[in-house]
């Protein structure tokens, strides 16, 4: 008999990014990405896309290094939150309750098998725009900013992990996420996973960390409405002297139209248009990509850039980075 699905997690709420260049990173997300500041608390600034329904989707924190502070998911109900907490409490992954953060209530924090900090919450503050940001259409969260790239909403994030299988099983068993696509190498090693708790084809992904170091971050992704907007964003990035790592192009896995840049603190940021690809089948069978298929590159033949496999945040320790550079030279 098929196990009853766990449907306790509603959606990705926000990501906390750490940056050693707080003011430069803030100007990037406001002036270039077109996000709106919605609050400040201590060393953190809270930012939103123009159609995020919650108060913010990005917490930007001044820190000594770069990387992900935590990822946060909203539960479907107080009861759903309680069920997930009951499943996690007493395990090696549990951290415990926090009083919450700006814009949301109490949150339960835990670590995945790779050491990334994740939290679950339910109580949240729906964004109420000030008069100057009130939209003409009442079914829109705020007025279109008409500034920079104009990102609409947070879409997903990607972490690096030393053990993909362990993380996949963790998110399936403890949180109820569904695996939609994955990479499996010839020796059976799982090298990538794309998982969802919604009808989107994925809400986050983990790909293999090349150096076996836990807790590193690959990218956060914000959605635009069309491929044409991704192309326009490339022009806007170049006009603002923002380095484009790769794209615009189309991924083979999940078919996302993409563009990748680095924000001033060193974190990778993606702009994406996923098109109309939704997973509505309750009995979806995960798609498996082989090692040979991944060697073909992206959807239209673009080779996956080398830095996509090696760059993450926080930066590598000096000795690991030096050894990695030597390996590439050889």
pLDDT at residue 327 is higher than 70: no
Q: Please say whether the dihedral angle defined by the alpha carbons of residues 20, 12, 124 and 28, taken in this order, is positive or negative.
A: positive
Asked if pLDDT for residue 126 goes beyond 70, the answer is yes
Span 105-115, average pLDDT:
98
Q: How far is CA 12 from CA 157, 281, 300, 319, in A?
A: 9, 20, 29, 35
Position 273 scores a pLDDT of: 93
Confirm if 107 and 58 have CB atoms less than 8 A apart. no
Average pLDDT of span 146-157: 97
- Max Cα-Cα span within the chain: 60
- Confidence band of 323 (pLDDT split at 50, 70, 90): low
Asked if residues 185 and 176 have their Cβ atoms less than 8 Å apart, the reply is no
pLDDT digits (tens, 9 = 90+) for 26-52: 999 999 999 999 999 999 999 999 999
Higher pLDDT, 196 or 317: 196
Task: Find, among 60, 73, 266, 67, the residue nearest to 156 by Cα.
Answer: 73
The pLDDT assigned to 3 comes to 78
Range in 197-201, 207-211, 271-275 the model is least confident about: 271-275
Q: Which of 8-17, 58-67, 291-300 has the lowest average pLDDT?
A: 291-300
Reported residue count of the chain is 330
Q: In the prediction, which pLDDT does 128 show? A: 97
pLDDT at 325: 58
Which of helix, strand or coil describes residue 168?
A: helix
Residues in CB range of 228: below 8 A, 6 or more apart: none
Q: What is the mean pLDDT of residues 107-136?
A: 97
- For residue 32, give the 3-state DSSP assignment: helix
Q: What is the pLDDT of residues 154-190, one digit of tens each?
A: 999 999 999 999 999 999 999 999 999 999 999 999 9
The tokens describing 246, both together, are 């790769």
Contact 249, 177 (CB under 8 A): no
Query: What share of the chain in percent tops pLDDT 90?
Result: 89
More confident residue, 136 or 324: 136
* Pair 207, 195: CB distance under 8 Å: no
Q: List pLDDT tens digits, range 216-237.
A: 999 999 999 999 999 999 999 9
128 within 8 A of 103, measured Cβ to Cβ: no
20 burial level (CB within 10 Å; 0-12, 13-18, 19+): middle
Q: Are 161 and 206 in contact (CB under 8 A)?
A: yes
Confidence of residue 277 (pLDDT cuts 50, 70, 90): confident
Residues whose CB is less than 8 angstroms from the CB of residue 96 and which lie 6 or more positions away in sequence, other chains included: 108, 109
pLDDT number for residue 328: 55
- Work out the average pLDDT over 67-73: 98
| pLDDT for position 319 | 59
Write the CB contacts of 207 (distance below 8 Å, at least 6 apart in sequence). Answer: 158, 159, 160, 161, 164, 183, 191, 192, 218
What pairing do the DSSP bridges indicate for beta strands 190-196 and 94-98?
unpaired
Give the model's pLDDT for residue 233: 98
For residue 201, pLDDT over 80 is answered with yes
Q: Residue range 97-113: average pLDDT? A: 97
Whole-model pTM over 0.85: yes
Can you tell me the distance from the alpha carbon of 330 to that of 326, in angstroms, rounded to the nearest whole number? 6
Q: How confident is the model at residue 1 (pLDDT cuts 50, 70, 90)?
A: low
- pLDDT at residue 321 in the model: 67
Is the pLDDT higher at 325 or at 143? 143
């Amino acid at each position: 008999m098929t196990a009853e699905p766990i449907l306790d997690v509603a959606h990705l709420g926000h990501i906390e990014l750490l940056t050693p260049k707080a003011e430069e990173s803030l100007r990037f997300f406001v002036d270039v990405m077109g996000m709106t500041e919605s609050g400040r608390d201590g060393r953190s600034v809270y930012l939103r896309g123009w159609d995020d329904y919650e108060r913010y989707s990005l917490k930007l924190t001044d820190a000594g290094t770069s990387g992900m502070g935590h990822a946060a998911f909203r539960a479907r109900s107080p009861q759903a939150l309680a069920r997930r907490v009951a499943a996690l409490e007493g395990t090696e992954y549990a951290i415990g309750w926090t009083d919450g953060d700006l814009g949301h209530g109490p949150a339960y924090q835990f670590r995945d098998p790779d050491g990334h900090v994740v939290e679950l919450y339910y109580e949240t503050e729906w964004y109420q725009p000030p008069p100057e940001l009130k939209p003409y259409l009442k079914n829109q969260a705020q007025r279109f900013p008409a500034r920079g790239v104009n990102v609409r909403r947070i879409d997903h994030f990607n972490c690096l992990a030393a053990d993909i299988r362990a993380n996949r099983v963790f998110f399936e068993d403890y949180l109820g996420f569904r695996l939609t696509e994955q990479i499996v190498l010839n020796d059976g090693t799982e090298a990538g996973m794309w998982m969802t708790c919604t009808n989107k084809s994925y809400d986050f992904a983990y790909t293999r960390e090349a150096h076996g170091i836990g807790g590193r971050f690959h990218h956060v992704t914000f959605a635009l409405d069309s491929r044409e907007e991704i192309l326009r964003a490339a022009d806007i990035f170049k006009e603002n002297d923002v380095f484009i790592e790769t794209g615009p192009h189309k991924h083979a896995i999940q078919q996302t139209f993409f563009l990748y840049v680095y924000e001033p603190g060193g974190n990778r940021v993606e702009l994406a248009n996923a098109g109309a690809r939704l997973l509505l089948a309750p009995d979806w069978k995960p798609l498996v990509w082989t090692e040979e298929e991944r060697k073909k590159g992206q959807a239209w033949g673009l080779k996956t850039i080398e830095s996509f496999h090696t760059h993450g945040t926080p930066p590598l320790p000096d000795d690991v980075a030096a050894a990695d550079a030597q390996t590439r030279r050889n």
